[in-house]
Amino acid sequence: MAADTERDYDVVVLGAGPIGQNAAERARAAGLSVALVERELVGGECSYWACVPSKALLRPVIAVSDARRVDGAREAVSGPISNAGVFGRRNRYVTDWDDSGQADWVSGIGATLVRGHGRLDGPRRVAVAAPGGERTTLTVRHAVVVCTGSRPVLPDLPGIDEARPWTNRRATDSSDVPQALAVVGAGGVGVEMATAWQGLGSQVTLLARGSGLLPRMEPFVGELIGRGLADAGVDVRVGVSVRALRRPAGGRVAIELDDGSEIHVDEVLFATGRAPLTDDIGLETAGLTPGSWLEVDDTCRVRAVADGWLYAAGDVNHRALLTHQGKYQGRIAGAAIGARAAGRPLDTAPWGAHATTADHHAVPQAFFTDPEAAAVGLTARQAEQAGHRVHTVDVETGDVVMGAKLYADGYTGRARMVVDADGGHLLGVTLVGPGVTEMLHSATIAVAGQVPVDRLWHAVPCFPTISELWLRLLEAYRDSTAQDD
């Protein structure tokens, strides 16, 4: 590419991860010319350092655990997991960190891939600095979509630089198993990586500052996952904070805790939050603050920018830091841009209105721990805080669902259904137990579609599957509401 060149496009997308790819694909489907700008690997964090490699690492661990829960199968499981096999499998799914296949996909949809660091350069302009020093200016007719994602946040602690901590990237691309690993943080990354690395042979200590694990979910989720981690050998400590770290040259990491104790490990992983990757993308040229989250409307347009040319999808808008929600937003943004460019109303697309309504009441999330956890919509507390009058029912899955008993001997799990007592539809569903992540989409449909409970009785679950849990939840709801009457 020649130095200091200029090109014109209808749409420019900053960031060619899954969110940017979805935005680009929808804009291309509307007949618009699109450039995707990427400074690292096409496919982004999710493909190479987050969702894909983490699940590739976790699946063998969970598969072995599942086999050991079944009489007749557990006898066939002997010896430790083959770490070489696990890492080889991970490497296949991240294509050895080679993005040529995803780059081919970009050209396959008729978009242009521009490699380099892209920055806004005033309204409807993006300047891209290529690795070789060339500079390209992209002028934009309709929209720029920021899909640059987020980065891990490390706390400001004495000795943290000396400790050389892992973040999610090192936790998913490492092929060396530390003898002892401390995981700081009890959110999704923390509990999943504690599960994975304990299964791969590390002695893991999980440090949670709050009173439980996965604190944004129903309280019983953290209780059951904490019990599962402890049963697997993880040292789970709640209500503790890291006060300082030390790592002498060539030595192990010493972690000083606020309860006065100290632990020594080979590596420490911090999974303590995310910040937007917007500090060096030229936000100041659009009147915005570098490093800030970008507030958007329900079409993912950035509210603070005049003329409506700037959009933001995925982590950068801070609505839901989940890949699937970001991809959803990317589809909404791309289709909305296409509709506006053509002067069409936003609700004329064949697949529905261009508004991210699911971001408000039906966000699904799944964690591939042992046991698994899955939820969609509101917890009981969140629903009450939002002003709903709710009715909540719980079911101990292993006690009443034959499909669960057949899935695993001694199946342990729990489910909760939060019902809008006035509207008669579901506000939220939470599931914990082996195999429950594959049940999440049925719950998501019920919550997103606001399907009346009376109608759910006619969605007949197949026997004997774990999905018969739906019938048990409805029966529990019927019995509890009858008692209220």
Question: What are the percentages of helix, strand and coil residues in the chain, rounded to 5?
Answer: 40, 25, 40
Region for 361 from its dihedrals, namely left if φ exceeds 0, alpha if ψ lies in -120 to 50, beta otherwise:
alpha
Q: Is 334 a known ligand-binding residue?
A: no
DSSP codes joined into one string, 162-178: HH--B-HHHHHH-----
> Under a CB-based contact definition with an 8 Å cutoff, are residues 71 and 380 in contact?
no
Residue-level length of the chain: 485
H/E element, 17: none
Q: Is 330 a known ligand-binding residue?
A: no
DSSP codes joined into one string, 384-441: HHTT--EEEEEEEHHHH-HHHHHHSTT---EEEEEEETTT-BEEEEEEESTTGGGGHH
Tell me how far CA of residue 184 lies from CA of 196, 207, 228, 272, in angstroms: 15, 5, 18, 7
Report the C-alpha gap between 434 and 432 in whole angstroms.
Answer: 7
Q: Which residues contact 85 (CB under 8 A, 6 or more apart)?
A: 60
Report the C-alpha gap between 25 and 349 in whole angstroms.
Answer: 15
Q: Is 150 a known ligand-binding residue?
A: yes
Within the chain, how many helices (H) and strands (E) appear?
17, 21
Q: Is 185 a known ligand-binding residue?
A: yes
Best CA proximity match to 427, nearest among 444, 402, 408, 407: 444
First to last CA, the chain: 74
Q: Is 363 a known ligand-binding residue?
A: no
Q: Is 15 a known ligand-binding residue?
A: no
Q: Which residues contact 168 (CB under 8 A, 6 or more apart)?
A: 49, 50, 54, 152, 189, 193, 271
Best CA proximity match to 368, nearest among 443, 446, 432, 441: 432
Going by their DSSP bridges, the two strands 117-120 and 125-129 should be labelled as antiparallel
Q: Is 190 a known ligand-binding residue?
A: yes
> Under a CB-based contact definition with an 8 Å cutoff, are residues 374 and 367 in contact?
yes
Q: Is 315 a known ligand-binding residue?
A: yes
Q: Is 188 a known ligand-binding residue?
A: yes
Q: Is 55 a known ligand-binding residue?
A: yes
Q: Which residues are annotated as a binding site for NAD(+)?
A: 185-192, 273
Q: Which residues are annotated as a binding site?
A: 55, 118, 148-150, 185-192, 273, 315
Q: Which residues are annotated as a binding site for FAD?
A: 55, 118, 148-150, 315
